[in-house]
Chain A
Amino acid sequence: EAQVTQNPRYLITVTGKKLTVTCSQNMNHEYMSWYRQDPGLGLRQIYYSMNVEVTDKGDVPEGYKVSRKEKRNFPLILESPSPNQTSLYFCASSLKGARGYTFGSGTRLTVV
């Protein structure tokens, strides 16, 4: 089944403890992206990647890192999480740029 898989689905962590949210797609998509969803703000793009080793900042990149060493994987790294990064995170992938992103199920992160 074609899908975008994120792990974990739920995560509670403490301020400052480094964490990684994994994202994997099995559709051979070139484009991948991370979003955060907050009430009243909709979805905001954190980072996106056009291909292996090619990434760019979205609208809210501060406090996040990404890497794209393999085509299928696009992990989101929070080096020192803070409470304002408590949010619902979505990974997405696409065959052709912004056209038709397929989204993962989301990761609900709570930073205390």
Chain B
Amino acid sequence: AQRVTQPEKLLSVFKGAPVELKCNYSYSGSPELFWYVQYSRQRLQLLLRHISRESIKGFTADLNKGETSFHLKKPFAQEEDSAMYYCALGTDSWGKLQFGAGTQVVVTP
């Protein structure tokens, strides 16, 4: 069965420090991985998708199929990065998208 694991519920970092959010997945097929962000009291927004290999707001994520991971990284955290981050796994082309439990990031000055 497919599963998405985000081991950290809360990540507290200082402004300017690097931040890494861990995401591991379990799926026997070919996965599509995403990172979504939810700022306080706002809707979820797509941040990154592995297929596009882009960098958004300074964040990057690399799919490591060997380790079944899709960790999110940013070299220098900013206060506006404080939010809830969700890793998500798409397992077919039919719209089924499974989320992890989320990691709350708090960036302190």
User: Do A106 and B95 have beta carbons less than 8 Å apart?
Assistant: no
A58 to B94, CA, bound (A): 11
B95→A33 contact, CB < 8 A: yes
Shortest CB-to-CB span from B40 to chain A, Å, is 13
CB distance from B71 to the nearest CB of A (A): 17
- Bound-state CA distance A102–B44 (Å) is 8
Binding-face segment, B13-21, B59-67, B73-81, B97-105: B97-105
Which of chain B's residues have a CB closer than 8 A to the CB of A44? 99
- Taking the closest CB of chain A, its distance from the CB of B86, in whole angstroms, is 6
Give B6 Cβ to nearest chain A Cβ, in Å: 8
Q: Are B95 and A100 in contact (CB under 8 A)?
A: no
Closest residue of chain A to B42, judged by CB? A105
Contact mask for chain A residues 36-53; partner B; CB cutoff 8 A; 1 contact, 0 none: 000011111100111000
Q: How far is the CA of A17 from the CA of B10 in the complex (A)?
A: 37
State the Cβ distance, A20 to closest chain B Cβ, in Å.
20
Whether a CB of chain B sits under 8 angstroms from the CB of A97 is: yes
Contacts A98-B32, A99-B51: A42 and B99 contacting too (C-beta < 8 A)? yes
Total count of chain A residues near the partner, CB < 8 A = 30
Q: Is the CB of A42 within 8 A of B93?
A: no
A106 to chain B, nearest CB (A): 6
Is the CB of A79 closer than 8 A to any CB of chain B? no
Asked if A101 contacts B101 (CB within 8 A), the reply is no
CB distance from A103 to the nearest CB of B (A): 4
Decide: A48 near B96, CB < 8 A? Known: A98-B32, A98-B91, A104-B43. yes
Q: Which of B43, B97, B98 has the most CB of A within 10 A?
A: B97
Bound complex: CA A48 to CA B92 (Å): 12
Q: Is A25 an interface residue (CB 8 A)?
A: no
Binary flags per residue of A80-112, CB closer than 8 Å to B gives 1, else 0? 000000000010101011111111111000000
By Cβ-Cβ distance, the 3 closest A-B pairs, closest first, are A98-B90, A31-B95, A42-B101
Taking A42-B99, A42-B101 as known contacts, 9 extra A-B pairs with beta carbons closer than 8 A to each other, sorted by chain A number, are A35-B99, A42-B6, A42-B86, A42-B102, A45-B98, A48-B96, A98-B92, A98-B97, A104-B43
